[in-house]
């Protein structure tokens, strides 16, 4: 622990660790629920910093900007680790649910170990990258979320007001979720068939979705709605009119069934293709990243003007230990081949992710594309090695899970180190803080996943797990299971057409892939953001916008209430 007596210099203290761990678990759980429901997560760095200032400055009467920075460093790790976990691991539950004779659901220990391995490797791989990316390319890589978080922490006098905004949003989100999810006074969603065209429109009553829409903004929200309308008012009517089985579903009043059985696969093909396109467009950047890293001696453990990193011996030893651990421990069903693939893809995508978030921000980091590429190569390699069936598919998802978490944590660590550099924090202490956040989040995420699955089941309306369902489809396809390749190919063709028209593929594809009610609610949040910015006359940064903080509170409030309702559902017998 930091023994410096000057309050302004305190960084790692009992208070910062306890508060940071609490926020890591809270935001990790809330983002896990959000990601399983919507397929999207939001950054927790700014809300964590705001809450930390409110608690530390105005409740505990402690005034240390570096201590507050340590809280957000630890706290933001929860959101990143949760994103990596929920985008992949629910696929194992879905297989166990669909094919219980072949698959078994992952244990709490297995989920925790996979999450811990990916999280620790993500932090370790980022240590030698700090100097070339954060220090030597300071003028090139801006790290927008890292800068925004530093701005929030420097504007500490507004901490109490901003913290109240987050907590007010949290309470509002929890209240609405309790009314719709437990008291059932208001339906959680509506779906209205449009019989004249065999289409459908819908609306979900969800404060978290409004918050997501506000945060992503009107442009992305509009593209999501455009994709939803394409899926539910164009593709669904065409399929329901020309495919006999789909027509029978429609005539029986099951518009949602037509979407799940047909339209959603078109969206899956578009997402997979869009993710791979995103990677291909980034390849020149990836090559430059590695040339830059290879051309500089990133000597962790030595001092530069930004401070000292963890010793390189410890970093290399830690990486080797994690790789051997993945190979040797049965709880990570990857084997020797999987450990090698994780080491290769983990190193590559950690560097890619850390650089991408510096250029375009965390929200535009193509982690889904990285995970898809990993799953494709891993599935082909496992199949070529002779492994097949349930064991091979489980190994592919385990490999994809670890790499996805590595990329997510590396990007989060890079943003946090940028914040620390602006504020004058000590790099090795922040790196220790990242380890603490990763361990706390890994211990919590397994319980969250198991709890939500037991309460509602992945793939249900409450927690559809859209990203994990997509990863499951990809592995099944690469391993040779029967899939509707015509629908997937149609989605791929759509992605190509959108690319040629210079329309962003991923938001439109996600709009097709997600239920229309979710997209309408997200669009409503984006429309509110447009009205607010129009009234102000200009866009406002996240560090200055109370609407963004209130939206983050809405998301956290609904997520935490959703987890509470899952506990109540289990205690009350469903």
Per-residue confidence (pLDDT) for residue 57, from 0 to 100: 72
Per-residue confidence (pLDDT) for residue 116, from 0 to 100: 96
Q: Which H or E run contains 397? A: helix 389-423
In sign, the C-alpha dihedral spanning 15, 21, 25, 30 is: positive
Sequence spans of domains, the chain: 7-95+103-189+257-568
Angle at CA of residue 127, ends 322 and 422, nearest 5°: 145
Across the chain, which has 574 residues, the per-10-residue mean pLDDT values are 47 92 91 84 76 77 84 90 91 94 92 96 92 81 81 67 81 92 89 90 91 88 95 95 93 91 91 78 62 50 66 92 93 90 89 77 70 87 86 93 94 93 93 96 94 90 87 87 84 95 90 91 94 77 70 85 87 70
Per-residue confidence (pLDDT) for residue 293, from 0 to 100: 47
Output helix, strand, coil percentages for the chain, rounded to the nearest 5. Answer: 75, 5, 20
Per-residue confidence (pLDDT) for residue 398, from 0 to 100: 94
Per-residue confidence (pLDDT) for residue 388, from 0 to 100: 75
Per-residue confidence (pLDDT) for residue 2, from 0 to 100: 37
* CA 243/CA 236 separation, integer angstroms: 10
Backbone torsion region of residue 31, taken as left when φ is above 0, otherwise alpha when ψ lies between -120 and 50, otherwise beta? alpha
Q: Are 406 and 122 in contact (CB under 8 A)?
A: yes
* CA 439/CA 116 separation, integer angstroms: 6
* CA 169/CA 421 separation, integer angstroms: 31
Per-residue confidence (pLDDT) for residue 302, from 0 to 100: 52
Instruction: Return the closest-CA partner of residue 356 out of 414, 431, 404.
Output: 414
């Amino acid at each position: 622990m930091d023994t410096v007596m000057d309050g302004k210099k305190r960084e790692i203290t009992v208070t910062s660790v306890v508060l940071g761990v609490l926020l890591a678990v809270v935001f990790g759980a809330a983002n896990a629920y959000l990601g399983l429901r919507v397929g999207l997560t939001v950054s927790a760095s700014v809300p964590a910093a705001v809450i930390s200032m409110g608690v530390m400055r105005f409740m505990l009467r402690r005034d240390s900007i570096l201590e507050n920075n340590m809280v957000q460093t630890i706290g933001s790790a929860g959101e990143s680790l949760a994103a990596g976990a929920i985008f992949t691991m629910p696929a194992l539950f879905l297989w166990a649910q669909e094919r219980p004779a072949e698959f078994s659901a992952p244990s709490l220990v297995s989920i925790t170990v996979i999450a811990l391995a990916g999280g620790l490797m993500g932090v370790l791989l980022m240590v030698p990258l700090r100097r070339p990316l954060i220090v030597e390319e300071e003028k090139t890589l801006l790290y927008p979320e890292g800068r925004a978080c530093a701005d929030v922490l420097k504007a500490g006098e507004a901490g109490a007001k901003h913290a109240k905004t987050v907590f007010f949003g949290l309470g509002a989100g929890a209240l609405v979720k309790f009314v719709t999810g437990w008291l059932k006074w208001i339906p959680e969603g509506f779906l209205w068939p449009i019989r004249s065209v065999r289409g459908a429109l819908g609306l979900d009553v969800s404060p978290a979705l409004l918050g997501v829409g506000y945060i992503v903004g009107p442009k992305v929200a509009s593209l999501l709605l455009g994709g939803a309308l394409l899926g539910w008012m164009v593709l669904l009517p065409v399929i329901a009119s020309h495919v006999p089985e789909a027509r029978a579903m429609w005539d029986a009043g099951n518009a949602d069934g037509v979407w799940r059985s047909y339209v959603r696969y078109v969206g899956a093909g578009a997402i997979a293709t869009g993710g791979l396109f995103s990677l291909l467009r980034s390849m020149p950047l990836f090559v430059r990243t590695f040339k830059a890293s290879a051309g500089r001696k990133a000597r962790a453990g030595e001092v530069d003007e930004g401070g000292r990193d963890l010793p390189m011996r410890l970093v290399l030893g830690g990486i080797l230990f994690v790789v051997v651990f993945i190979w040797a421990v049965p709880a990570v069903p990857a084997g020797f081949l999987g450990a090698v693939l994780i080491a290769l893809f983990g190193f590559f995508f950690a560097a890619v992710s850390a650089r991408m978030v510096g250029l375009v921000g965390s929200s535009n980091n193509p982690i889904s594309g990285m995970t898809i590429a990993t799953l494709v190569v891993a599935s082909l390699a496992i199949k070529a090695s002779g492994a097949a069936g349930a064991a091979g598919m489980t190994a592919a998802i385990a490999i994809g899970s670890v790499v996805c978490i590595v990329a997510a944590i590396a990007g989060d660590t890079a943003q946090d180190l940028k914040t620390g550099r602006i504020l004058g924090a000590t790099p090795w202490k922040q790196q220790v803080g990242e380890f603490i956040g990763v361990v706390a989040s890994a211990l919590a995420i397994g319980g969250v996943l198991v709890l939500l699955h037991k309460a509602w089941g992945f793939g249900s309306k409450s927690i559809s797990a859209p990203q994990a369902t997509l990863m499951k489809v990809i592995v099944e396809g690469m391993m040779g299971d029967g899939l509707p390749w015509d629908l997937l190919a149609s989605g791929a063709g759509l992605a190509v057409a959108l690319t040629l028209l210079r329309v962003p593929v991923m938001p439109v594809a996600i709009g097709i892939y997600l239920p229309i009610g979710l997209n309408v609610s997200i669009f409503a949040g984006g429309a509110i953001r447009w009205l607010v910015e129009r009234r102000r006359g200009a866009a406002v940064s996240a560090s200055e916008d109370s609407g963004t903080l209130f939206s983050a509170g809405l998301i956290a409030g609904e997520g935490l209430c959703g987890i509470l309702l899952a506990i109540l559902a289990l205690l009350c017998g469903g």
